[in-house]
Structure formats: structure tokens, C-alpha cells
């Protein structure tokens, strides 16, 4: 099975423009044989906490219908980033779309102090199935706590899928922490980070994949959009540049 992490420069608050770029990336990932694509944290709006209230949408929103359509047409699953409007407040969400299935929504359970003024934490862990693979999503800050991954492993996770928006310092720390997570729990880890301006920092890329022994299989640089394609059968991964994005 092939899984793809997209390293993307989302445009601040541009939901429609970012959606079009997601569709382009998904087409390319499917052409490479991917069965699951993961995008960076809050990828559809950019990581912009101060805009979350005006940009938040429910997981049932019509804006996600083009993603569901391409999901069904290409028989591909995807995990995208969106501020979610819920009964509990606005959450840092990860809508998960699967062909022929109802949408799932995962929400970040552990928030950074800087996020508390804008978001409410989720309280539900999630495992979802892609083919025969049990996948556990994680969003940025919470993925830096081994307890989050341990809970996922106890629920049967066979792969840890991490979506982040990290600075250069944050990605350095992630590259120290994530191989330890993979090695300790004995499961592969695939991580997608953003590049370019985000909130008050610059996304530092470094999207990567590690095998179940914590060996780094592939990593992208700190400035260019691209993809990591992880093959779970051969335990290998490659970095692939993105074709030119329209618009």
C-alpha cells in the first residue's frame, strides 16, 4: 500500500484556492498509486488561528463535496485540515474522506498554549481503516507526546499519521521525537508539514517517513512543495516534487 504526505504552502484564508490546490495534489498522488493522502495542519485555510472563527465550517459542509467526489472517483482516502465548527466550539480539525463512506472528523486533543484563545480541544481518539491498514491520526502539538501515540497503538493502530504546521525549531524537535515514537511502538510514521508563511512564522517543511524501527526513509527540504510517498509493503519511501500548481 502506498500513502502520501503532501508538503504544501497554503494561502492565508483562501479556502477555494487551497481547495483547488488540494485537488491537484490528490490527482498527482493517485497517479503515483497512493491510497491515502495527508495534508498539513489546517491545510484548507492555512494555519491561521486568528481567522479560525470566520473560516470554521462543519464537517458536513458543501465545501468538502469536491474532495468527496475526487475521493470516490479515484478510490483514494484523504485527511485534510480545516477549522471545524462543532457543538463544543471551534476545533483544529482533520476531516477524513473515504470512497463510498460518510465523512469522519478528528479534532486535535491537546492544544498548545497559543491556541487556547482560538480553539477548543477535541476529546475523541480515532482509528480509521485504509485497505487492511489501521491508521491513527495526530495533529501537531499532541504528536510530540508519546502518550498520544501509545493510546493509538493500544487501539490497534498500525501507522501513525501526523499532520503539522511547524517552525524550523519545531521540525528539528519532531525529527528527534518521531523516530523514537516509531521505534518504541513498532509502527511506521508519516508526517506532513507546511512550507511558507503561516500565522506569525514560516513553515519549515521537512515532511518525512520513518519505518517501524525508527529509520528515516525519506525527507523533503525546508522550502519547496512536494510529496513523500511511503510504500508499506517494501518499507521504502521517496520524495517527489509537486507538479506545478494552477493559480
Q: Residue 91 belongs to a domain with what CATH number?
A: 3.60.110.10
Q: How many Cβ atoms sit within 10 Å of the Cβ of residue 104? A: 16
pLDDT at res. 192? 98
pLDDT at res. 247? 44
Q: What's the mean pLDDT in 228-238?
A: 97
Cα–Cα distance measured from residue 21 to residue 91, given in angstroms and rounded to the nearest whole number: 23
**What are 139-184's pLDDT values in tens digits?**
999 999 999 999 999 999 999 999 999 999 999 999 999 999 999 9
Cα–Cα distance measured from residue 203 to residue 192, given in angstroms and rounded to the nearest whole number: 11
Cα–Cα distance measured from residue 40 to residue 205, given in angstroms and rounded to the nearest whole number: 10
| Residue 99 domain flag | yes
Q: Of all residues in the chain, what percent carry a pLDDT higher than 70?
A: 98
Per the document, the length of the chain is: 247
Task: List Cβ neighbours of 106 (8 Å cut-off, separation of 6 or more).
Answer: 79, 93, 94, 96, 122, 124, 126, 137, 139
246 — pLDDT class (breaks 50, 70, 90): very low
pLDDT at position 83 over 60: yes
- Residue among 90, 92, 86, 2 nearest 40 (CA): 92
245 — pLDDT class (breaks 50, 70, 90): low
**Burial call 20-54: b when 16+ CB within 10 Å, e when fewer:** ebbebbbebbbeeebbbbbbbbbbbbbbbbebbee
Q: What's the mean pLDDT in 76-81?
A: 98
Q: What's the mean pLDDT in 213-232?
A: 97
pLDDT at position 236 over 90: yes
Number of separate domains in the chain: 1
| Residue 15 domain flag | yes
pLDDT at position 10 over 90: yes
Q: What's the mean pLDDT in 42-71?
A: 97
pLDDT at position 243 over 90: no
Residue 161's domain spans which residues? Answer: 2-241
| Residue 246 domain flag | no
Task: List Cβ neighbours of 172 (8 Å cut-off, separation of 6 or more).
Answer: none
Q: What's the mean pLDDT in 192-215?
A: 98
| Residue 124 domain flag | yes
The overall average pLDDT reported for the chain is: 96
Cα–Cα distance measured from residue 206 to residue 48, given in angstroms and rounded to the nearest whole number: 20
Q: Of all residues in the chain, what percent carry a pLDDT higher than 90?
A: 98
pLDDT at position 37 over 90: yes
| Residue 80 domain flag | yes
Cα–Cα distance measured from residue 119 to residue 127, given in angstroms and rounded to the nearest whole number: 22
238 to each of 70, 143, 201, 230, 242, how far by Cα in Å? Answer: 24, 23, 27, 7, 13
Amino acid at each position: 500500500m502506498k500513502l502520501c504526505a503532501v508538503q504544501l504552502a497554503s494561502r492565508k484564508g483562501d479556502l477555494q484556492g487551497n481547495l483547488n490546490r488540494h485537488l491537484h495534489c490528490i490527482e498527482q498522488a493517485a497517479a503515483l498509486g497512493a491510497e491515502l493522502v495527508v495534508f498539513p495542519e489546517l491545510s484548507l485555510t492555512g494555519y491561521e488561528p486568528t481567522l479560525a472563527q470566520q473560516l470554521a465550517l462543519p464537517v458536513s459542509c458543501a465545501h468538502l463535496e469536491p474532495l468527496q467526489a475526487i475521493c470516490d472517483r479515484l478510490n483514494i482516502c484523504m485527511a485534510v485540515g480545516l477549522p471545524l465548527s462543532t457543538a463544543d466550539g471551534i476545533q483544529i480539525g482533520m476531516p477524513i474522506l473515504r470512497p463510498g463512506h460518510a465523512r469522519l472528523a478528528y479534532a486535535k486533543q491537546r492544544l498548545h498554549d497559543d491556541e487556547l484563545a482560538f480553539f477548543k480541544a477535541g476529546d475523541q481518539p480515532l482509528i480509521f481503516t485504509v485497505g487492511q491498514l489501521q491508521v491513527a491520526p495526530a495533529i501537531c502539538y499532541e504528536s510530540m507526546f508519546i502518550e498520544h501515540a501509545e493510546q493509538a497503538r493500544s487501539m490497534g493502530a498500525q501507522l501513525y499519521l501526523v499532520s503539522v504546521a511547524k517552525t524550523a525549531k519545531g521540525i528539528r524537535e519532531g525529527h528527534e521525537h518521531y523516530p523514537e515514537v516509531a521505534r518504541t511502538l513498532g509502527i511506521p510514521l508519516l508526517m506532513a508539514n507546511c512550507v511558507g508563511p503561516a500565522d506569525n512564522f514560516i513553515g519549515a517543511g521537512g515532511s518525512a517517513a520513518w519505518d517501524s524501527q525508527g529509520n528515516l526513509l525519506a525527507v523533503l527540504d525546508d522550502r519547496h512543495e512536494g510529496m513523500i510517498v511511503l510504500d508499506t509493503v517494501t518499507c521504502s519511501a521517496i520524495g517527489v516534487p509537486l507538479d506545478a500548481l494552477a493559480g
